[in-house]
Amino acid sequence: MSPSILIIEDEASIADNLVYALGTEGFDVTWKNLGSEGVREVLTQTIDLVILDIGLPDISGFEVCKQIRQFSEVPIIFLTARSEEIDRVVGLEIGGDDYVAKPFSPRELVARVKAILKRLSWKQDVLVELKQGQFAVDEVKAQVRYYGKDLDLTRYEFHILKILLAQPARVFSRTQIMDKAWEMPASRLERSVDTHIKSLRTKLRGVRAGENPIKTHRGFGYSIHIDEN
Ligand code: CA
């Protein structure tokens, strides 16, 4: 499967060039011109790398990056137009992986994209799973194994499970789970946490029918319990 690249850029001429340059290299390219649309795309689609402009019509690229980093480690390349933007990007805490200063050649950007994806695939090969009792979490592949079996999880389910597993036996409220899983404008109902938990339980039961490691704490939230041995 070809890697999917998301371009978040409001200047059509730049975006068109990038869509073309990346498309001819065999990448699967999506283009959004609003920051909020870009965040939603990362949340709902499988995106391997994001090319992110800083000056966007709705929210800044910095804010887009911050929101994406709440739920995804997808590599981000910033497109910067001004030197003070470069200073902020280089100043680390933003969470970007690389930057390209405008004006740039599409060929240069394609080379950066390839370099980052190559680095990532190497990282995937050597990454060790985080074992937590009967669970094993592969952060890079966004996969969880349960009693040695891969669970087929949605993005939300993966994040919810990861949050619970980070601190076994700790009770998380629905709001805490929501805040950690997607730091998005408060447009999501708490009930959706319940829906994801329900679906997660069904998938866990599919592996071990008699076990229910996720406990409900009535009127509050959930906790997960692991086998210590
Ligand atoms: Ca712009």
pLDDT in tens, 22-67: 999 999 999 999 999 999 999 888 899 999 999 999 999 989 998 9
pLDDT of residue 184: 47
CA 112 to CA 98: how far, in whole Å?
A: 8
pLDDT in tens, 138-190: 877 778 999 989 999 987 888 889 888 878 888 988 888 887 776 544 445 56
Classify 138 as helix, strand or coil. Answer: strand
- For ligand 1, the distance from its centroid to the CA atom of residue 33, given in whole angstroms, is 9
Question: What's the pLDDT band for 89 if we cut at 50, 70, 90?
Answer: low
Looking at residue 227, what DSSP letter applies?
-
In sequence order, the 6+-apart residues with CB closer than 8 A to the CB of 113 are 5, 22, 27, 49, 51, 77
CA 5 to CA 22: how far, in whole Å?
A: 8
Helices 106-126/12-24 angle, 10° precision: 60
- For ligand 1, the distance from its centroid to the CA atom of residue 172, given in whole angstroms, is 39
Tell the residue number behind the tokens 């340059």, with chain if given: 21
Q: Tell me the pTM.
A: 0.56
Which burial class, exposed, middle or buried, applies to 180 when counting CB atoms under 10 A from its CB (0-12, 13-18, 19+)? middle
- For ligand 1, the distance from its centroid to the CA atom of residue 43, given in whole angstroms, is 22
Q: Where are the beta strands (DSSP E) in 10-163?
A: 28-32, 49-53, 76-80, 98-101, 130-132, 135-138, 143-146, 149-150
- For ligand 1, the distance from its centroid to the CA atom of residue 107, given in whole angstroms, is 20
The helix or strand, by DSSP H or E, that contains position 215, with its residue range, turns out to be: strand 214-217
The answer, yes or no, to whether residue 124 has pLDDT greater than 90, is no
Which burial class, exposed, middle or buried, applies to 98 when counting CB atoms under 10 A from its CB (0-12, 13-18, 19+)? middle
- For ligand 1, the distance from its centroid to the CA atom of residue 44, given in whole angstroms, is 24
pLDDT in tens, 70-85: 888 899 999 988 777 7
Q: Which two tokens stand for residue 122?
A: 């190497």
Tell the residue number behind the tokens 């060790």, with chain if given: 128
149-150/135-138 β-pairing: unpaired
Q: Which two tokens stand for residue 214?
A: 């996720």
- For ligand 1, the distance from its centroid to the CA atom of residue 56, given in whole angstroms, is 5
- For ligand 1, the distance from its centroid to the CA atom of residue 127, given in whole angstroms, is 36
- For ligand 1, the distance from its centroid to the CA atom of residue 11, given in whole angstroms, is 6
CA 60 to CA 93: how far, in whole Å?
A: 15
